[in-house]
A and B are shown apart, each in its own frame.
Chain A
Amino acid sequence: GQQVMQIPQYQHVQEGEDFTTYCNSSTTLSNIQWYKQRPGGHPVFLIQLVKSGEVKKQKRLTFQFGEAKKNSSLHITATQTTDVGTYFCAGTLKTSYDKVIFGPGTSLSVIP
């Protein structure tokens, strides 16, 4: 079946270091979304990428969608303790019902 994978599963960084999480789909996606979930919280929408090769920035966060629309990445520059949480990618499949599949997430810990 269709799968969305993410690596790494966990990442511990010193505050101020950069962080990147990678998302890969076994099938071509219509779009990809990124969510952040704080410990004890629910997923909160960050951004959606639609076009092949698209790059979007939100302050210290840079999101990229691959040319083949099968992979994506999220890069955080100079991490802060407020960045702690689990980052999920969610791919929308090209079906008649816009099925969304979440990756397993990357859990980020930031050491002050």
Chain B
Amino acid sequence: DTGVSQNPRHKITKRGQNVTFRCDPISEHNRLYWYRQTLGQGPEFLTYFQNEAQLEKSRLLSDRFSAERPKGSFSTLEIQRTEQGDSAMYLCASSYFGGTQYFGPGTRLLVL
């Protein structure tokens, strides 16, 4: 495996349901980032980890969003009580410290 992988690639859910996404970074990378991208916009920073420590969270990340990286490898992003406004592409990226960020293919979420 030479790239960042994300699962699932697509998720359709009903409003009010909880969803969880997974990101597997490039194995040597110690930093992992989550972004949200809506149509016609650039990726918006949500949060990032260095190893297992969550170092920064955007104000965009409401209390319904939580992210974990328990062993410093893969990460999960959970959205509780989804709302239609949560519909977006959720991108994960990884890097070695502050180096180049490599993006995964994203998880496209649609909340009905």
Contacts and interface: CB of A to CB of B under 8 A. Distances in A.
B61 to A, nearest CB: 14
B102 A45 contact: yes
B103 A100 contact: no
A98 B44 CA distance: 15
B48 interface: yes
Contacts of A33: 100-101
A42 B106 contact: yes
Contact of A98 (B40, B43, B98, B103): B98
Contact of B42 (A48, A97, A98, A102): A102
Contacts of A41: 105
B91 A98 contact: no
B28 to A, nearest CB: 16
Contact of B91 (A43, A90, A100, A107): A43
A65 interface: no
Contacts of A44: 103
Q: Is the interface of A mostly helix, strand, loop or mixed?
A: strand
Contacts of B105: 41-42
A32 to B, nearest CB: 12
A101 B101 contact: no
A104 B48 CA distance: 20
Interface of B: 33, 35, 40-45, 48, 50, 55-56, 91, 97-98, 100-106
5 contacts: A33-B101, A41-B105, A90-B42, A97-B56, A104-B42
